[in-house]
């Protein structure tokens, strides 16, 4: 590692544990709140300028869906109410057929169970403002982590003037997203497992403005889906009465981004696949041209820590594709899990870090797998009759046998049962249902056979 040109010393010298966090996105800013609440000295470094002054410049989605896990994490630091004040509850999926027919599918039998569309930028600013309220937390913008010395326990950053800075702390946490600089250094150590895999699909965001009278142009309390088999578009409502649409299309191929280049091709593609949305998108062609195509990656690594000095959280440890709307929720849940371990063991990082790493890994893997499975479901099955029938059956079972049966979607989105346990429970339920179905079928076959036999006598 190059020699540091200058060295930060913590502003407030005290016996409180000192934690440096790289990345003040959703995970980093919330973690700063959790640690600040404990009186830990926290230095939070973010490569971007301060969004409170400069406005939020996001590389990711404009809005996102927050559900029970994220809200639980916010609630514990007293922020849920503030975040929910600007959120729009989405109580189900609104499917748009090719002919523009709408079918609404509630997420739950309980009408108060909804996922919440929130602005990513506002959420991040709320978290930063909350972190800044703690006296022991210091925010540093325009500071990019570029390297780490894992043995010395230092992190190298480049400051606003291009100066190189070395930070030491009791614990350094990489909350610097899917392309984490801290993780990149850990990848070069022995027995560190790492994998990344991209979907063949990318995403592009577009906008539906409010209707002429200023109201929402579509039903606001729903997540809109245009499933087209192999590709799809979704739309989430925003507090300013716009919708953010996201096209999930293959990069290449007959339904790909690569075959839509000219204005005529853009209009033709939307007229063919998303016709009912076209009149609602007056700036479709400009937006399509202006907005980039993002890629969708799943990242897994193990372990999430190095010795008792470095830890990865959020997307830095486990980036998932967005089809269960759980990436940020899972990142927030990481903060809850870390806080619970600190509650039990204090800043005994040699105990806390491996327990967090091993404890959360199975859950992160489970939600990564479920997110990919949900992509296939949303894209290919959501509009089909058999899917709608299955969802109706699930809802009936949930209503009649609610103590025994809860659909997987509800376990993931409306509970804080660990992801891996939720998946196990759903599989168990499915097995019992299949067995019950086969049993019922066998009884019917035997009864019919008996009846036929009796009639022939």
Ligand X SMILES: Cc1cc2nc3c(=O)[nH]c(=O)nc-3n(C[C@H](O)[C@H](O)[C@H](O)COP(=O)(O)OP(=O)(O)OC[C@H]3O[C@@H](n4cnc5c(N)ncnc54)[C@H](O)[C@@H]3O)c2cc1C
Q: Contact residues for ligand X (CB under 6 A)? A: 22-28, 45-48, 60-61, 64-65, 144-145, 175-177, 181, 203, 246, 314-316, 322, 325-329, 331
Query: Which has the closest alpha carbon to 330: 424, 222, 425, 413?
Result: 413
Select 108 or 374, whichever has its Cβ closest to ligand X.
374
Strand 41-45 vs strand 137-140: parallel, antiparallel, or unpaired? Answer: parallel
CA angle 333, 337, 339 (to 5 degrees): 115
Q: Which helix (H) or strand (E) holds 281?
A: none
CA distance 411 to 384: 23
Smallest gap from Cβ 407 to ligand X, in A, equals: 19
Q: CB 410 → ligand X: shortest distance, Å?
A: 16
Q: How far is the CB of 22 from ligand X (least distance, A)?
A: 5
DSSP E strands in 34-177: the ranges are 41-45, 63-66, 88-90, 92-96, 102-106, 115-119, 137-140, 144-149, 154-158, 164-168, 171-174
Go through 276-292 and write b for each residue having 16 or more CB atoms within 10 A of its CB, e for each that does not: bbeebbeebeebbeeee
Residue 247 CB, shortest distance to ligand X, in Å, is 11
The smaller minimum CB distance to ligand X, of residues 246 and 374, is found at 246
Total residues belonging to the chain: 457
Q: Phi and psi (nearest 5°) for 42?
A: -125, 130
Residue 182 and residue 155 in contact, taking contact as beta carbons nearer than 8 Å: yes
Task: Report in angstroms how near the CB of residue 31 gets to ligand X at its nearest.
Answer: 9
The continuous run of DSSP H or E covering 297 comes out as: strand 294-302
Task: For ligand X, give the closer residue by CB, 26 or 311.
Answer: 26
Q: What's the closest the beta carbon of residue 59 comes to ligand X, in angstroms?
A: 7
Cα end-to-end span (Å), the chain? 92
Nearer to ligand X (CB atom), residue 28 or residue 383: 28
Nearer to ligand X, 207 or 246 (CB): 246
Shortest distance, CB of residue 82 to ligand X, whole angstroms?
A: 18
Nearer to ligand X, 119 or 429 (CB): 119
In the complex, the smallest distance separating the C-beta of residue 62 from ligand X, rounded to whole angstroms, is: 9
Q: Is 64 helix (H, G, I), strand (E, B) or coil?
A: strand
Q: Which CB sits closer to ligand X, 68 or 405?
A: 68
- Using CA atoms of 217, 220, 223, 226 in order, give the dihedral in degrees to the nearest 10: -20
- What is the rounded CA–CA span in Å between residue 83 and residue 100? 33
Residue 65 or residue 150: which is nearer to ligand X going by CB? 65
Q: Which residue is nearest to ligand X (CB)?
A: 25
CB of 424 to ligand X, least distance (A): 22
Q: Which helix (H) or strand (E) holds 12?
A: none
- Find, among 198, 263, 211, 202, the residue nearest to 237 by Cα: 211
Nearest to 237, CA basis, from 151, 350, 118, 330: 118
Nearer to ligand X, 145 or 341 (CB): 145
Nearer to ligand X, 291 or 351 (CB): 291
Cα 228–232–233 angle (5° rounding)? 130
CA–CA dist 246, 340 (Å, integer): 36
CB of 324 to ligand X, least distance (A): 8
CB of 151 to ligand X, least distance (A): 20
Q: Which is nearer to ligand X, 205 or 394 (CB)?
A: 205
């Amino acid at each position: 590692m190059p020699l540091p040109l200058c060295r930060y010393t913590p502003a407030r010298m005290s016996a409180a544990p000192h934690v440096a966090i790289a990345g003040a996105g959703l995970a980093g800013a919330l973690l700063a709140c959790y640690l600040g609440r404990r009186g830990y000295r926290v230095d939070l470094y973010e490569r971007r300028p301060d969004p409170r002054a400069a406005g939020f410049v996001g590389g990711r989605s404009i809005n996102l869906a927050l559900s029970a896990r994220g809200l639980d994490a916010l609630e514990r630091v007293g922020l849920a109410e503030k975040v929910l004040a600007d959120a729009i509850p989405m109580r189900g999926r609104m499917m748009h057929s090719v002919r523009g027919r709408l079918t609404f599918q509630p997420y739950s039998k309980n009408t108060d169970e909804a996922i919440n569309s929130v602005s990513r930028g506002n959420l991040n600013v709320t978290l930063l403002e909350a972190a800044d309220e703690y006296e022991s937390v210091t925010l540093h913008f325009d500071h990019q982590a570029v390297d780490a010395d894992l043995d010395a326990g230092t992190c190298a950053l480049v400051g606003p003037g291009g100066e190189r800075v070395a930070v030491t702390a009791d614990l350094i946490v990489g909350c610097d997203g899917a392309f984490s600089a801290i993780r990149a250094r850990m990848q070069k150590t022995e027995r560190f497992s790492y994998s990344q895999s991209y979907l063949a699909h990318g995403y592009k965001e577009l906008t539906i403005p409010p209707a002429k009278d200023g109201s929402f142009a579509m039903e606001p309390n729903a997540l809109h889906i245009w499933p087209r088999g192999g590709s799809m578009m979704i739309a989430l409502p925003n507090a300013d009465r716009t919708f953010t649409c996201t096209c999930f299309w293959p990069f290449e191929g007959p339904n790909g981004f690569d075959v839509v280049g000219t204005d005529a091709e853009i209009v033709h593609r939307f007229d063919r696949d998303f016709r009912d949305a076209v009149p609602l998108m007056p700036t479709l062609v400009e937006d399509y041209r202006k907005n980039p195509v993002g890629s969708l990656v799943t990242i897994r690594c193990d372990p999430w820590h190095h010795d008792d000095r470095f830890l990865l959280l959020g997307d830095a440890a486990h980036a998932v594709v967005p089809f269960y709307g759980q990436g940020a929720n899972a990142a927030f849940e990481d903060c809850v899990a870390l806080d619970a371990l600190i509650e039990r063991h204090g800043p005994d990082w040699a105990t806390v870090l491996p327990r967090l790493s091993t404890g959360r890994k199975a859950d992160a893997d489970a939600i990564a797998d479920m997110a990919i499975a949900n992509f296939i479901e949303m894209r290919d099955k959501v509009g089909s009759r058999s899917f709608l029938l299955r969802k109706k059956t699930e809802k009936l079972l949930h209503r009649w046998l609610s103590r025994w049966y809860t659909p997987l979607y509800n376990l993931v989105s409306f509970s804080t049962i660990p992801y891996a346990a939720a998946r196990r429970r759903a599989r168990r339920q499915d097995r019992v249902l299949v067995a019950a179905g086969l049993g019922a079928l066998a009884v019917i076959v035997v009864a019919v056979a008996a009846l036929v036999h009796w009639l022939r006598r």
